């Protein structure tokens, strides 16, 4: 079974509009973390935002916010005021396991390609 | 912020050659580094977890003798693709976690595009 599911292979948004990228996850571990990364065409992975399973509030980082719905096991990324430079692949990832084990792994979704048009 | 340097950024070589890729954490100590492989238009697949001073932990299906990992210090891990063949052509990317910060994200290198002719 997929641990991280991103159902949108591609999304289009107009510049200055907001866009939501979907991510659902599956885990039985009560302690986990959710991450969003951006991968431009050049290939590097850029960390955007993090949400811990015990965090009470939704994470926000500048124009990025995470709509965390624990009961639904969803962690959607919201990008406000889209810019042309936001065009890239976006990956949702989950870290499972207790924080002190040192052997935590990230499991990535299949990604969503976002295209921002002028 | 945390910076991870990966070298080389791209390699083109003949079949049968061994290729070494370096991953360095420049401004922090990384007890754990991760090696991923990414095929075109696909997601990142974890190959192995590299821990300083101990043997790497490989994911199921990854050949240990094919992909040699060495984590000799808290700032350097290397991946050697031994006797590379065209099917090993891929984008390889490493990441590192900051020591002592469990909630810290993995910081990624810029990746290495490997093309075997």
Asked if A33's CB is within 8 angstroms of B103's CB, the reply is: yes
Asked if A52's CB is within 8 angstroms of B105's CB, the reply is: no
pLDDT at B100 over 70: no
pLDDT at A98 over 80: no
- Shortest CA distance to B67 belongs to which of B84, B51, B52, B80? B80
pLDDT of residue B104: 72
A55 to chain B: which residues are within 8 Å by CB?
Answer: none
**Residue A59 contacts B, CB cutoff 8 Å:** no
B21 to chain A: which residues are within 8 Å by CB?
Answer: none
pLDDT at A99 over 60: no
Asked if B51's CB is within 8 angstroms of A44's CB, the reply is: no
Q: Which whole number is the average pLDDT over A90-111?
A: 79
Per-residue pLDDT tens over the stretch A13-25:
999 999 999 999 9
pLDDT at A53 over 70: yes
Q: Which whole number is the average pLDDT over A72-89?
A: 97
Asked if A100's CB is within 8 angstroms of B102's CB, the reply is: yes
B106 to chain A: which residues are within 8 Å by CB?
Answer: 35, 47, 106
| SS3 call for B88 | helix
Per-residue pLDDT tens over the stretch A4-13:
999 999 999 9
CB A35 within 8 A of CB A106: yes
B31 to chain A: which residues are within 8 Å by CB?
Answer: 102
Q: Which whole number is the average pLDDT over A22-47?
A: 93
Question: For all residues of chain B together, what is the average pLDDT?
Answer: 90
Per-residue pLDDT tens over the stretch B3-55:
899 999 999 999 999 999 999 999 888 888 999 999 988 999 999 998 888 88
**Residue A16, min C-alpha distance to chain B (Å):** 27
- Please state the three-class secondary structure of chain A as a single string: CCCEECCCCEEEEECCCCEEECCEECCCCCCEEEEEEEECCCCCCEEEEEEECCCCCCCEECCEEEEEECCCCEEEEEECCCCHHHCEEEEEEEEECCCCCCCCCEEECCCEEEEEEC
**A83 or A97: which leads in pLDDT:** A83
pLDDT of residue A110: 94
Residue B69: partners with Cβ closer than 8 Å, 6 or more residues away = B35, B48, B50, B56, B77, B78, B79, B80
């Amino acid at each position: 079974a997929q641990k991280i599911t991103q159902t949108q292979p591609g999304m289009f948004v107009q510049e200055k509009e907001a866009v939501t990228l979907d991510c659902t996850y599956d885990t039985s571990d009560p302690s986990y973390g959710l991450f969003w990364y951006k991968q431009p065409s050049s290939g590097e992975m850029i960390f955007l935002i993090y949400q811990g399973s015990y965090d009470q509030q939704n994470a926000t980082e500048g124009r990025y916010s995470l709509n965390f719905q624990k009961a639904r096991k969803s962690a959607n990324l919201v990008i406000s005021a889209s810019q042309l430079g936001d065009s890239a692949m976006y990956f949702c990832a989950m870290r499972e396991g207790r924080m002190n084990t040192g052997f935590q792994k990230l499991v990535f979704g299949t990604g969503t390609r976002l295209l921002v048009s002028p | 912020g945390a910076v991870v340097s990966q070298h080389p950024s791209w390699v083109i070589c003949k079949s049968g050659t061994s290729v070494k890729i370096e991953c360095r954490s420049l401004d922090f100590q990384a007890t754990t580094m991760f090696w991923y492989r990414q095929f075109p238009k696909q997601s990142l697949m974890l190959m192995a977890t590299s821990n300083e001073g101990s043997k790497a932990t490989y994911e199921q299906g990854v050949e240990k003798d094919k992909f040699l990992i060495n984590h000799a210090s808290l700032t350097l891990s290397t991946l050697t693709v031994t006797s590379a063949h065209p099917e090993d052509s891929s984008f390889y990317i490493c990441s590192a976690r900051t020591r002592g910060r469990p909630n810290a994200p993995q910081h990624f290198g810029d990746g290495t595009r490997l093309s075997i002719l």
